[in-house]
Each structure stands twice: as C-alpha cells, then as structure tokens.
Structure 1
Amino acid sequence: MKQTSPTPLLSIASYSIPFKVPGSQRDRQLLHYFCVQGSSDISGFITSDFWSKVVLQESHQDTAVRKALVAMSSLHLDYVTSESQAASVATLTHYGKAVRTIRKRLSQPTSDTTKVALVCCIIFYCCESALGDWDAALQHLGNGLKLLKSVRETQNMKDLTVMFERLDMQASFFQDDRVPILSLPDWKEYVKAVPEQGFSNPQEAHESLVKLQSWLYSFVNRHVELHEASVDLLSADILDEKDALVQAYNRWSRAFDELQRPKNDDSQDTHGLRVLLIHFHICQMILESKFPVNEKIFGASPNPTAHKILDLAETLLDHTTKLNSSPNATQTPRRNFSLESGVVAPLFALALKCSDESVATRAAGMLSSTHRREGLYDAQTMAQILNQLRISRDGDPGIKEEVQSDNGIVSALEYHIPGTYEGGGIDKLLASMRI
C-alpha cells in the first residue's frame, strides 16, 4: 500500500453503532461511518445481509473482525474522499493492526475461528480490491474459498457461502479463463438452481442467478476450444447441456417476472432487481452467442437488447449521482466503491463485444463519466482500455474498407485486442496494452 495524508476526522454528534466499541475515538468514528454510509456503499445496488448484519455481528463478538472492519472503513473513507489510489498513514496503521490480530487469532483457534477467518478473507479482499491490487485480492479470496470448501459440509455457512459464491463469480468475470471454484462437478446438479415454486424475494432470485452464472462460465471454459464451432462440430453432450442451460435461464426469467415488485420505483430493492436483470441479459446474450456460434447476438446493428441493458444501467448511475449529492451522505463522495458486481463489468462487455457502434459508444461513455469501482472492476480503467482499442481499430487502414463494404458497420473492439494478449483476464489485457 502507498501512503497519503490522513483523512480528516468526522464530526459526529451521536454514534449509529448497535453495540459498545472498545478502543479509540477514531475506531468508533470509522465504525459509525460504516454503519451510516460505508456498508450501503460497499453493498452497491443490491441489499446484502452480509454487510448490514453478519459483519457487524461478528465484529461485535470478535476483536479480529472488528479491527479488520475498522481498517476497511478507513480505506473506504480514503477512497471516496480523495482521488488518490494510495492509502493514508492512518489506514495503513489500522490495516497492519488487523493483519497482526487475525494472525494471532488463528494461532489460538477456538470453535468459531473458521468463521472469523472467512469473514476476514472477505474484508481483506474488499480492501485490496479498493486499492487495485488484484493479485493480493485474489489471494485472499482463494484462501477463503479453499477454507470454505473444506468446512461447509460440516458447518452451517449459508450466509458466507452466498457471499463467496458471488465473489467467486466476480473473479471469473475478471479472469475470463477461470472456472468458478465453487462450481458444481456435475452440471445436472444445476438444474434445480431455479426453484419450481419461483422466488419469494429478490435475494432468492440473486442466489439462483449466481448459480446459473457459475454453470454458464463452467460450461464455456470446459469447451472453450469449440465456442465458435458450428452445430455439426458439437457433440450431443454439449448440445444437451446448452439446451438445459437455455431452459434454466428461461425458467429464471419467468420466475423473475412473477416476483412481486416494490411499489417504490426508487427503493433499494428496485435498484437491486435492475442489476439482476442487467446480469441476466448479459449472460443470456453470451449463452445464445455460443455452441453453436451465433454472430448475430453481439453483431446485430441496431441491437435493441444491448440498448435495453444500457437503459437499465443508466438509471442506476443516475441514482448514484443523486445519492452522492444528498445532504444525508457523511461525506460527499468523489468516487464510489462497491464490492458487489453491478454495472461496470456489463458495460465493459457491451462496449467490447457489440458491433453496433451506438451501443459501444454509449457504453464506453457511461464508463468514462463515472468514477466507480465494483470489486476488481474500475470504470475509469475499463474506459481507458476501450479508448486504446478504439484508437488502434480506427487507425487500421482496413477499417475504412470494412465500413464501405459493410453498410457502415465496423468490427467490435474485441477483434482489435493486441496479438500479444493470450487470455487470462483484465490484468493480462492491461499488461499486453502497456496501460
């Protein structure tokens, strides 16, 4: 971590912390900040029991979790109130204390040590993601996933499993050749991912969609060498699994349509449902474009499905702008950081893969106009990648011929990724582009 000057102390008349906090005034201020603003920011557009309940309960009961939460709150406050990627001296101090405390805690195990370790893995993943240290973040996530797999059959880890499943998928979005660690060994086990009785609440719909995403990414990576193959080159097993995936996504869509909508169009649940729709439509487009290859899905111009996704994302970014200017905010954010996947990755995917220039331009513009990081995805970094690819494409002499011969449609930006890129995700792509 790099250092910056410390963030000024907050002016707080009364603390919104649901329990007594031992330690310094600064610790109490940072936990207050987490309770009134940090937790909702980190949750993003989707309501999360982990950030609103679980992490607070664990921090009340365990010093290691509390110190980790203080460090994360300090880092989040640094992030939203400055434009520097570096952490303040105060945050570095908190982070160091948290690491030392969890190490000591692990050396003296008790009955709840496993849960404490898992919660701290998530918090440290959050910290390193905010700092843009992808390797360190993924290391913390990997440690947590390995530990979770070793214990979840013998211990009740429902709340933590749900959280790790989401982060597992986030890592696979970021590293496109990564099979989700928590993916099921037999794809037929995924068939029950959408309950027959439908969804009773948005959380159930979210959990179901994450399982379908895991299935899709596992399917694509298992057969990556055939994803552009025509139907006559695909085995019956691949076609059967593709058909089962299509049916599962259709069932999810029907169950989602029957889910009771909030009456308030500006409620947290409403924004969460929009995020789910965005992720559903993106995954459905990916599914429809492969096995066998269907270039019309992302190659269509105009592409109304892509614009529908952009319309949903636009309402969410407008909501963020409104919240940032609200007098209720503890600090007026210069940037936003959420651990949950929201709009950044889908916008990047559309800008990269769509041949409809109005879609690509609109998606890239939305990324460049927001200072938002969602887990491993940073909007400004994604916009920079897209800009470099556009410069490279438009400087290609063959593009003018392409435009003239194809009714003004140009090839998608993904076809202009440097030849030195051999796959592996955003970090490898950045290295190949020397950004």
Structure 2
Amino acid sequence: MSSVRLRHVKCGEEKPGCSQCARSGRKCDGYTDASQNQLHHALVKAAPRQGWSPRPDRNIVLVPGTREERHYVQFFCTQTAHALSGFFPSDFWNQFLPQLSHRNPAVRHAVAAVGALHQCQLQGRLISPSTPRSTENHEFILQQYNKAIRQFLQQMGNPADMKIDMMLIQCVLFICLEMLNGNTKQAMDHVQGGLQILSRQLQDQQIAAQRSFDRDLFQFFYRQNIQLSYFGRRLMPFMDTASKDFPVLPPNENVFFDNIDQARDCLTSLTTRGLSFIRAVQERTWRVPRGQVSEQQLDQQSALLAELKAWFSAFEAMQKKSARTIGILDPRAPLSLLCQYYAAVTWLRSCTFLDERNFDRFYPNFEKIVSAGERVVQASAQDEPNLSTEHFFLDADVLPVLYWAIMHCRHPILRRRALTALENYPAREGLWERRTHVAVARRYIELEETAVAHLPVEQRLVAERNLIYDAAILPEMEAPLNPCPVLFRLKPDGPDAPWDERWENLSW
C-alpha cells in the first residue's frame, strides 16, 4: 500500500489573488487591507483587562515605546532578568517583571535604562569617574531614568493605582541602576527607602508574602537589609514585625525543606537575626573600656546556634533529593548557601570574644568556606569562558563571605586561597566592587604580616599585636574612588587597650 504525502502550497500574497493559488486551483481571497492601526484597536478591544499577577498571555501584544526602548526592554527580558536573578531563578525576575514592563510605563522606562546599563557592563563600557562618558548611551539611560521617575511620581498621585508591590518594584529597579553605576550611597538610599516602606506595611497590616512574586520581592529586601549592615547602616528589625517571614526553627524537632528557595529564605532569617545579635554584642565588647556580655545574650547566642544546626541538618537532608526536585538549576546555589552558613556559625560563635585570636579555633570552618567559594569561581568561569566579561549579580552571595574569611582567617595558606578565589571570581555582586575589596584584602594581609614577611609563606603566623580587627572602606561613596580611603583598626596593646586607627589611600 503506497503512502500519500500532501504538499502544502504557500500563498504568494499578491493582490487581489496570488499566482500560486491560481495554478493549484485553490480559491484565494488575497491579502486584507486592514491597517496596523485597525489591527491594534481590534486586539486592544478583544484583550481582557490585565491584573498585576502574572498570567499566561495568549494575546498578541504590540510592545509600546520607541525602537531603542523596545530593544533594551527586550535585552532586559532575555539577558538582564536572568543575570539579576543570580543562582536562584525566580518568577519575579523571569516572568512577572518582564510582563509588567509591557503595560506599566514607569516600569518600562526603568527596565529600558537597566537593560542599556547592563549591556554597557557586559561590553566593559560601564560609566566610571576615571573614564569619559559614552555620550549617546549615557543620555539614553539618563533620559529613561528621568522618565521612569516622572511616571512613578504620577502614579503615586493616584493612591488606588500605587500599591505596595508597585512601589517596591520601582524601588528595586532604581537599586539596580545605582548598583550597576557603582553609586553606593544612592543605591543604599533606595534600599533603605524600600525597607522603610515594607516595614511600615508589616507593622500596620501584619502582611505576609502570599504569592510567589511577593515572596521574591520581600526576600530581596530582607537580603539587602543584611548588605546595608555590612556597609555601615543599621539593620531594620524585621524579626519583630514579620514572624511569618522569619520563623524560629525548633531545635528539638525535625525540620524539612521542600526546595532550595525555602532553605535560602530560612538562612536569610537566621543571618539577619544573628547579625543583629553580633552588632549588639560588638557595641559592648568594642567600646573602651570594654563591656561585658550578659547572660541573656549568651542564652540568645546558644539559641541561634541551635537554629543554625537545625537548618544545616535540614539542608543536608534536602540535598539527598534530585537537583530538579528541589529546584537547583545552578550548582552555585547550594555552594553559596554553604559559604554563608559557615560564615554565620563562625562569626556567631566568636563574637562574644574581642580577641581576634579566637577565630584561630575555626580553621575547619574557613576551609569549608574557601572550598565552596573556589567551586563557585570554577563554575562561574565555565559559565562564562571569556573572563574579560564580568557578571553582575544583584544579590551578594559569595564576595562578602570570601572577603570576610580573608579578614579573620590567619592561616597563611588558607587565606591566600580565599584571596585568589576573590581575585578570580568574574563577577560584581550588589554593592561589592571586587577590585576595591581585593586591594583592601591584599593590604590587610600585608599589614598583619609585616613583621614576618621575610619568612616562607607557610610560616607567616601573625603576632597578636599586629592583628587587625576591622577595615572600613570610606562609606557613602557616590561612586568607586581610586585611590580609595580605608580605615584599619588595631589593638596593638591588647584587647582592653584603646584603638589604634590608621587611614590609608589604596589604589586598585
């Protein structure tokens, strides 16, 4: 029995009838004369009214804006959104925000500006104080930024249209712009503004994240709260007002995570509460004369450490499942959580002692941090073979931990491994300008090892009087400075003696 293949004849689209259809004997109605304007009105009339929540859209959408705006909105949707979501892809970045940019003018202009700036970053053409500005591109970015602000202010004039999620979304996009531009102060101001909006809502309404994109949005600000603390601003005390988003882990019961997002959010909660405790203890132990840690604080420390132990047990159990089942799409995601976990445990255990020598007891933890960090760097290099191109991640998951490890790990080989990982990590994370922090970390090691610099590296054990307790980069910078003012703080005459503060200008 022979098979029959049907050959489809393509219409030539000539008016009023095409030659292809005439030869084949088919009736051809030709091409409609309906204009694009009529088509647009027909689509708009037929399209249902859109809500804020993301939904499958089966209607043809004519993307608004100029050709240049559409180009950078598309660039944002296809490349920038993926980069900003980092190791943990989310519905907020990959679905909700791209959809919202097509129907909200304030979001669209901000997205176009972020997309244009991200493209500059990938091409190594980021605006900096030491290089001339690319006039055409800079003017477009600035124009879109100003349009976004004007549209946003107009929307704020109508309380019915300006809900908390829209205010926070616009805030997130402004944060992206300032972080990409290296404007630390402006970025922190936007973060703090968003945190204040969220804090007021949590206090007034006791709201919690019900939808997936709400959760992503709220958790972003919870993580940025930690970053503000690293750069000298006070933590917002969310744990007092948002118990649903900051649960306490029961240490004597089994804890389970269904996916890696749950593990990440829980670790954010623990890190926030742990860092709040560390800052409170440091206010006592770092003053002169030194204050004492209270019994209540010691009990709080034990409780937090028990919660971290419960978190780690649940995390290990979760990792026994398949990566797809628990939502691990990037192998760097669990590695970044391990870095953060071991840093949190080590810092929390050591914070009640002013003596920096106390960190020497935790070399195994530093080994875990550095090993995980090295694997992240290796995976990042494989992800982007062209090492001249630097990634940009909105969240700071790895750089702060490697930098912190270099500050407090005095094992001469181990801390140099951490420095090498920091140098080779092809990424910028949030407010962390890698070249600046590499320069500070290298100088930190040089200062501590001045008296033993003549010895082989493996024998360079730092004397107590040369230990540096802290290195503070000049805060509230409008843009990265080169050279950069840095304050090093020492206690050469012992933990109970006054501070010795030394300013240096470091070049990078």
Range into which the TM-score falls when normalised by the shorter chain: 0.7 to 0.9
Structure 1 residues 196 and 80: CA distance shift in structure 2, 3 A: same
Query: 1:247 — aligned with what?
Result: 306
Trace 1:223-234 onto structure 2 (pairs within 5 A): 223-227=281-285, 233-234=292-293
Aligned counterpart in structure 1 of residue 112 of structure 2, from 66, 70, 75? 70
1:379-427 deviation digits (Å, cap 9, x = unpaired): 1111011223334444x4x4469x79x96412599934789x6997999
1:176-227 deviation digits (Å, cap 9, x = unpaired): x62245343799x966257954211111111110010110111111221445
Kindly indicate whether the alpha-carbon contact (under 8 Å) linking 1:46 and 1:271 is maintained by their aligned counterparts in 2. no
Query: 1:218 — aligned with what?
Result: 276
Aligned counterpart in structure 1 of residue 404 of structure 2, from 340, 345, 349? 349
Kindly indicate whether the alpha-carbon contact (under 8 Å) linking 2:323 and 2:329 is maintained by their aligned counterparts in 1. no
Bigger mean CA offset, 112-121 vs 286-295: 286-295
Query: 1:50 — aligned with what?
Result: 92
Query: 1:39 — aligned with what?
Result: 81
Query: 1:97 — aligned with what?
Result: 147
Are residues 1:324 and 2:384 paired? yes
Are residues 1:171 and 2:171 paired? no
Counterpart of 1:352, as a letter, is: M
Bigger mean CA offset, 361-370 vs 214-223: 361-370
Kindly indicate whether the alpha-carbon contact (under 8 Å) linking 2:428 and 2:434 is maintained by their aligned counterparts in 1. yes
Query: 1:415 — aligned with what?
Result: 467
Query: 1:278 — aligned with what?
Result: 339
Kindly indicate whether the alpha-carbon contact (under 8 Å) linking 2:88 and 2:333 is maintained by their aligned counterparts in 1. yes
Kindly indicate whether the alpha-carbon contact (under 8 Å) linking 2:117 and 2:177 is maintained by their aligned counterparts in 1. yes
Structure-2 separation of matches of 1:144 and 1:205: 24
Larger Rg: 2
Structure-1 separation of matches of 2:474 and 2:280: 15
| SS at 1:376 equivalent | coil
1:325-360 deviation digits (Å, cap 9, x = unpaired): 38xxxxx97211110122111110111111011122
Trace 1:113-262 onto structure 2 (pairs within 5 A): 113-152=163-202, 153-154=204-205, 157=209, 158-159=214-215, 160-175=217-232, 178-184=234-240, 192-193=248-249, 197-227=255-285, 233-260=292-319, 261-262=321-322
Query: 1:433 — aligned with what?
Result: 504
Structure-2 separation of matches of 1:306 and 1:150: 38
Structure-2 separation of matches of 1:418 and 1:294: 12
Counterpart of 1:172, as a letter, is: S
Structure-1 separation of matches of 2:401 and 2:425: 14
1:299-322 deviation digits (Å, cap 9, x = unpaired): 259x23212222211222222222
1:105 Cα shift?
A: 2.1
Structure 1 residues 252 and 362: CA distance shift in structure 2, 3 A: same
Kindly indicate whether the alpha-carbon contact (under 8 Å) linking 2:282 and 2:351 is maintained by their aligned counterparts in 1. no
Counterpart of 1:346, as a letter, is: V
| SS at 1:373 equivalent | strand
Structure 1 residues 379 and 269: CA distance shift in structure 2, 3 A: same
1:131 Cα shift?
A: 1.3
Query: 1:60 — aligned with what?
Result: 102
Are residues 1:369 and 2:424 paired? yes
Structure 1 residues 345 and 142: CA distance shift in structure 2, 3 A: same
Aligned counterpart in structure 1 of residue 395 of structure 2, from 303, 315, 340? 340
Identity %: 22
Structure-2 separation of matches of 1:179 and 1:41: 26
1:228-286 deviation digits (Å, cap 9, x = unpaired): 79xx9432211110110111100101111111443479962432111111111111110
Structure-2 separation of matches of 1:181 and 1:244: 18
Structure 1 residues 266 and 242: CA distance shift in structure 2, 3 A: closer
Counterpart of 2:268, as a letter, is: V
Structure-1 separation of matches of 2:466 and 2:272: 23
- Bigger relative contact order, structure 1 or 2 (CA pairs below 8 A, ≥6 apart): 1
Kindly indicate whether the alpha-carbon contact (under 8 Å) linking 1:288 and 1:297 is maintained by their aligned counterparts in 2. no
Alignment: residue pair count: 404
Gap regions ≥5 residues in structure 2: 1-58, 488-502
| SS at 2:397 equivalent | coil
What is the RMSD computed on CA atoms of the aligned residues? 3.6
Q: Which has the higher helix share?
A: 1
Kindly indicate whether the alpha-carbon contact (under 8 Å) linking 1:41 and 1:336 is maintained by their aligned counterparts in 2. yes
TM-score, normalised relative to structure 2? 0.70
Structure-2 separation of matches of 1:248 and 1:425: 34
Structure 1 residues 237 and 313: CA distance shift in structure 2, 3 A: same
1:141-162 deviation digits (Å, cap 9, x = unpaired): 1111111122245356542222
TM-score, normalised relative to structure 1? 0.81
Query: 1:13 — aligned with what?
Result: none
Structure-2 separation of matches of 1:54 and 1:413: 54
Kindly indicate whether the alpha-carbon contact (under 8 Å) linking 1:47 and 1:272 is maintained by their aligned counterparts in 2. no
Structure 1 residues 126 and 411: CA distance shift in structure 2, 3 A: farther
Are residues 1:382 and 2:437 paired? yes
Structure-2 separation of matches of 1:412 and 1:373: 33
| SS at 1:312 equivalent | helix
Structure-2 separation of matches of 1:423 and 1:240: 35
Structure-2 separation of matches of 1:92 and 1:223: 44
Bigger mean CA offset, 274-283 vs 29-38: 29-38
Kindly indicate whether the alpha-carbon contact (under 8 Å) linking 1:129 and 1:137 is maintained by their aligned counterparts in 2. yes
